[in-house]
Copies of this chain bind each other. A is one copy, B any other.
Amino acid sequence: MPKQVDHQERRRLIADALLRVAAGNGLEAVSLRHVGAEAGVTSGMVQHYFRTKEEMLLFALEVVGERVQHRLAAEDHTTLAPAELARALLVQLLPLDAERYAEGRVALAFHAYAAVNPAIAAVLRENSAWLRSHLAELIGTAQARGHADAGIDPTSTATALQALVEGLNLHTLGKHYPPETALQVLDAQLDAVFHRGAAEVQ
């Protein structure tokens, strides 16, 4: 009986190999040959699953998104206040461990690549809009509960928090300061938005 190949699984293995190549050498280094070698398969096999480099990159972006979702799902959020939920989301974007460091480097490469690739740019915009509106909702909920100043604009504040973390990510990846500094700065800014001590007690 022929061995049953799990196509979805093989696509994922190839995407994981792509992410390792991209984290190590940038998206320019991503080619059928390099990714195939990293995944331990032939270039032809890579091309069987992904007709173009763009298709492969788009799938790799999806995989990164799923990884973040997976890490978030592993935590118990049911009892968290909006401020802590916002923090849980935002720290996923900081390079605080090896996995997020590699993802951060790949994300940075994707941002640079988006300038010359509209399909990649569209996915990044969509992900970014989702995070921004989700953060704005959390800020609105905190305001309704009296756990954030009623005077701040949820959308503007959400945009600021998201941009803050993006910049902290960039500077931490470039070793402008250690990850702990980025985390301290994020926490100070979250404290300025949310009444975090109060938010724990409901």
Contact = CB atoms under 8 A, between A and B. Distances in A.
Given A125-B174, A167-B162, A174-B128, A116 B25 contact: yes
Interface residues of A, number: 44
A188 B160 contact: yes
Main secondary structure of the interface of A (DSSP, over half): helix
Given A156-B184, A164-B160, A176-B129, A105 B115 contact: yes
A11 B6 CA distance: 56
A61 interface: no
Contact of A166 (B124, B162, B171, B189): B171
Interface of A: 25-26, 28, 105, 108-109, 111-116, 121, 124-125, 128-129, 132, 153, 156-157, 159-160, 162-168, 170-171, 173-177, 181-182, 184-185, 188-189, 192
